A = this chain, B = another copy of it.
Amino acid sequence: MAVVRQLKLGAFMRPVSIHTGAWRYPGAWRDANFSFPRLKYLAGRLEAARFDAFFMADHLAVLNMSTEALRRSHTVTSFEPFTLLSALAAVTSRIGLVATASTSFEAPYHVARRFASLDHLSEGRAGWNIVTTSNPDAALNFGLEDHLDHDERYARAREFYDVVTGLWDSFADDAFPRDPESGTYVEPERMRALDHAGRFYRVRGPLNIARPVQGWPVIVQAGASEAGRQLAAETAEVVFAAPNGLFDGRELYADIKARMARLGRDPDHLKILPGAFVVVGDTESEAREKRARLDSLVHYENAIGSLSIALGHDARGFDPDGPLPEIPESNASKSGRQKTIDLARRENLTVRQLAQRLGGYGGLSFVGTPATIADAMQEWLETGGSDGFNVMFPYLPGGLDDFVDKVVPELQRRGIFRRDYEGRTLRDHLGLPRPANRFFPSGA
């Protein structure tokens, strides 16, 4: 019997949606950024729909846009990921919980510890979205005047990953007999100090926490640059990709999986999940009207700010009705910058049109009926475009309810999405192996 390939579905969450006009949409929860009951409802619905993971985006600064853009933005203030996901762990039982943590502004010991703790709290449902943080405004909140350049950030991220995963291996899985008779709580012989001394970090260890339930929390990455692809092929288990369309998606998919094979990794041990902004209507025209209404709520100041961030260059001086001028090199994420330039050239957009597209949401979108959305997702799945998607909802709770109530049953009917969880951990959901312990391979 042939096994039908199954979609993996993450929910990419900012509390009040990624779309900058979302909070103004009729019926949207404007207070969700700081309302735990709202987030509890959303996570509960996603779990009932058998989503693989709740994926919490993050950033580390407010001042990365103009005053007028900030005035209209709901995306700069929200819960911090570890505190929110830990609270959600207590009120859910199966859905994965993926937190974003930056390798540029954190200490590896803290990061290793919090993810291990979340993995124990959730009984094996934690994932770490590794970001290098390209926003130079964030550096100013951490005492750094000069932000690291792109390659330096990735070199640091690679070493940071080595330290964190090494700390997770501090204890063998069977290191804690907790035998009251002999008085042995932990076997020090089944514990190892990492003694890491590298270019960026010196960390002795061991971690003061037992090995995570999953061995390691699931490793998630987003980078699509040359350095990002290589880091993903070496280390990632989920790639949160951002291709603009199926052609780009297939190229990225084939490239990362080929890099893995060259490194001796099983390509099935990494799931590529493009971000997909999904607007559901009962008819095609209803869906398009929803999108148009939503985009109409985006203020131009937000639009031009988003364009500036994407380019790593202040775009406010550009002629709004002219074509995008040549942009000098910068510290911005290289893949995001080139994608933005490509979009403008490909669709022959003015600066204003490009800015408005990005200011709402400029990436991959599926706007249609449950059937046409399922068609598109199935095509990506079956033609080497992806292993699933990180779904972005246009507004909350309506956009999420639409997806859960209408699209998920269609995917289940086609046999390409689970009707129930088969395992308990995020690794179980994603079909990922439990990593062996580098120090205690037989006890893993």
Residues of chain A touching chain B, judged by Cβ–Cβ distance below 8 Å, are 23-24, 30-31, 33-34, 36, 40, 59-63, 67, 70-74, 76-80, 82-84, 86-91, 105-107, 109-110, 113-114, 116-118, 120-121, 123, 137, 140-143, 145, 170-171, 176, 178, 180, 183-188, 191, 193, 201-210, 297, 299
Contact = CB atoms under 8 A, between A and B. Distances in A.
Given A31-B178, A84-B117, A143-B201, A208 B90 contact: no
A184 B301 CA distance: 12
A118 B87 CA distance: 9
Contact of A91 (B91, B143, B202): B91
11 contacts: A23-B185, A24-B183, A30-B180, A60-B208, A70-B186, A72-B184, A79-B120, A82-B82, A86-B87, A109-B142, A140-B203
A114 B299 contact: no
A209 B78 contact: yes
A425 to B, nearest CB: 15
Given A83-B82, A86-B86, A117-B80, A73 B186 contact: yes
Contacts of A59: 208
Contact of A117 (B79, B106, B209): B79
Contacts of A84: 86, 117, 121
A30 B109 contact: no
Contact of A208 (B61, B89, B171, B191): B61
A188 B70 contact: yes
How many copies of the shown chain assemble into the complex? 2
Contacts of A89: 36, 87
Nearest to A195: B140
Contact of A83 (B34, B72, B109, B117): B117
B62 A191 contact: yes
Given A142-B109, A185-B23, A76 B208 contact: yes
Contact of A143 (B87, B118, B203): B203
Contacts of A63: 193, 204, 206
Given A24-B183, A210-B34, A188 B71 contact: yes
Contact of A82 (B30, B86, B201, B297): B86
Contact of A185 (B71, B109, B137): B71
A208 B138 CA distance: 10
A83 B86 contact: yes
Contacts of A142: 107, 109, 203
Contacts of A90: 36, 40, 87-88, 90-91
B80 A188 contact: no
A66 to B, nearest CB: 9
Contacts of A297: 183
A109 B141 contact: yes
Given A72-B183, A86-B86, A80 B114 contact: yes
Contacts of A184: 71-72
Nearest to A70: B188
Nearest to A120: B34
Contacts of A202: 140, 143, 145
